[in-house]
Structure formats: structure tokens, C-alpha cells
Amino acid sequence: MLSTFIKQHNLPEDFKLAVDQYYKPLTEQVFNRFSESNDVYFVGINGCQGSGKSTLTDYIASYLTTQYQLNVVVMSLDDFYFSNQKRQKLAQDIHPLLATRGVPGTHDVTQLNHVLTQLKNRQTEFSIPRFNKATDDPFPEEQWTVINKPADIVIVEGWCWGIKPQTEEQLSVPINELEAQYDKTGEWRNYVNQQLTSAYSPLYQKMDFWLALQAPSFDCVYQWRLEQEKKLQDKNIDLINSKVMSPSEILNFTQYFQRLSVQGCKTFSQSTDAIFYLDYDRKITKMSMTELV
């Protein structure tokens, strides 16, 4: 299974070491906790852009499916982004910065909650949205993921998934050039924080297990995101009117994520069941994990 996984994901051979040291022990811990729960088990994974969330979630799903014949549903918060049209409406009605996908307030959280409830109730014959970043809009519904058998384990990953709201004091000062120039009054960041409080945080309670992939600093996010965008560009080379971003656009784009990414790094140690600490090359340097009791 591992050799096939490495080939499919175009990973280096030393990925096997990370699996033995970190990925497999984590996955076995998730399985043990699922076995104790006698219910659908929900895993929340947080990590900044390009930190390796997709690779990790795919490994967990592949391992549990192969080793224990479980039905694992993998979901990304990204797939619940509002359409470009809907975000333009938010930009017009609330704040111009909401035209750009990413922050809390640009996802369809009502739809996310509905999907989580359906999975919790072991329902079938419904679809989970998929978002196409190359067009900056959802895929057509006929390309969404169909759930045709009850879930055993559900993994939900997202860059701001699990991050806690900030205080008024934290919100009072711009964190970067984007905020200083385009959010002088703090209206945008306060709206984002309010959405985090009222719409996102209640859904965190649905997760049974939390894992964070912690970057060494926000400085590495630009480079990681650049690599992601290159892969996206390679997959959509013939796309007309592509929304794939240039390096300068990515540099601007990552500023939208800075405030809450930094917040996550500062607070996740207080609320997660496991943390993978990464270096600048995205290699795991150590793991912190609470044991099953």
C-alpha cells in the first residue's frame, strides 16, 4: 500500500521514514479511538497553506481503508467556498476584501453543517461539494463527491479549521500591509472574527480528534503556497480564463491568511490531541500526542 501511495502522490522515498515515525502511529491512534467510540468518528486537521494536509489526510484514508476496511470520508473546508458571484455580493454589501476566498465568512458554513449532520447520521445518496481553484468557483454539481455508503471516519481539513477567535485587543492593530492599506478601520478583520465566533466555532464541537500541522513561522507560507500553485497550473495548462495566480498575486493572497495562521500557531497547543511540528522543508521534526486513556 505504501509504495503505491508514494508513487501516486509523487513523494520521495524518505516519506517512508515519516510514515513509520509519525503518520502510522497517528493513524493507529485514530483507529483505536474510533474503535472505542461505537459511532462515526470525526477528525479535524489544521495546517497553513501548503503544509501537507492533503497528503496526510489521503494517507490516513488509504491506510484505514486498506488495513481495516473502513469507509473514510475526506473533506476539505476549501470545497465549501462560496462562488465568485456570492463573494462579490459580500464584497459589495460588507467589505471589498471578502471578494477573495479564504477567510471565515467566505465559506458556505450552513451547507458544511448539513453535510456533517448527514454523515453523523450515516446517511447516503447525497453529494459533497468540490471547489475548483483554477476557476475560483465550485465544480458543477455532477462532479461533486457522492456518498453511497455510511461513513465510519470523517476527516475535515482546512487552513482555518479549528482556529479560535481573537480578542478585541488583538484585532485593534493591522498585522500586515494588506490590513494597513485596505482595512484601516478593522471592519473586515472584525467581520471575519465574528464569523469565526458565531458560525465556525460551534462546528468544532462535532470533531472528536484534532491534529495540527504547525509551521515554524508564517515566513515559509509564501514558498509553500507557490509550490501548490505551480502544481495547480500544471494540471490546468489548457484552461481558458484560468484564475491560477502569479507569484506576486500569491504574495498578496497569503496576507489574507496571516492573522489567523499566526493565531493558530499560538493557540493550537492548548486544544489539539496531536501536533506535528514542521521545519521549513515541511519535514516533521517532532510530534506531540495525547495518549488514549
Please state, for a pLDDT cut of 90, what percent of the chain lies above it: 74
pLDDT of residue 269: 80
Contact 162/46 with Cβ under 8 angstroms? Answer: yes
* 141: CATH: 3.40.50.300
pLDDT of residue 250: 82
Which secondary-structure segment (H or E) carries 88?
helix 84-93
Domain of 171?
2-289
Phi, psi for 214 (deg, rounded to 5):
-100, 120
Cell of 175: 498585522
List of residues 6+ apart from 49 with CB closer than 8 A:
159, 221, 224, 225, 228, 254, 257, 261
pLDDT of residue 293: 44
Low-confidence residues of the chain: pLDDT under 50: 293
Number of domains making up the chain: 1
pLDDT of residue 156: 98
Which secondary-structure segment (H or E) carries 117?
helix 109-120
Q: Which residue, 82, 109, 105, 104, is CA-closest to 203? A: 109
